[in-house]
Amino acid sequence: MEGQVWNIILTIAVSAVGFIVKNSFDEIKRIQILLNRTREELPKEYVTRAQLDADINRIFDRLDRLEVKLDKLMERHA
């Protein structure tokens, strides 16, 4: 009789530990999936520093060309 009680207690304890471990692994898997989705979505929302710098440089180049054209136009009318 004492052996059966011990077996029942061990079975319940091992089952509880197994349930907790399974839930932990499932949660880790869920978090990994969310992290991968975040890594995929992040570049769609934001630009890198290099891309931003390149775009700003293109804008400044166009402004410089516009400034030169305006200077020439002002010289003609002066």
Please tell me whether residues 30 and 65 are part of one structural domain: no
Please tell me whether residues 2 and 30 are part of one structural domain: yes
3-state secondary structure of 1: coil
Please tell me whether residues 68 and 52 are part of one structural domain: yes
CA distances from 41 to 23, 47, 49, 68 (A): 27, 12, 17, 41
**Residue 60 token pair:** 């400044």
Report pLDDT for 62. Answer: 97
Please tell me whether residues 2 and 28 are part of one structural domain: yes
Please tell me whether residues 62 and 28 are part of one structural domain: no
Report pLDDT for 44. Answer: 81
Confidence of residue 1 (pLDDT cuts 50, 70, 90): confident
Quick: pLDDT tens for 18-53: 999 999 999 999 999 999 999 888 878 888 899 999
Please tell me whether residues 27 and 52 are part of one structural domain: no
Q: What is the pTM of this model?
A: 0.54
Confidence of residue 13 (pLDDT cuts 50, 70, 90): very high
Domain that holds residue 76: 47-78
- The structural domain count of the chain equals 2
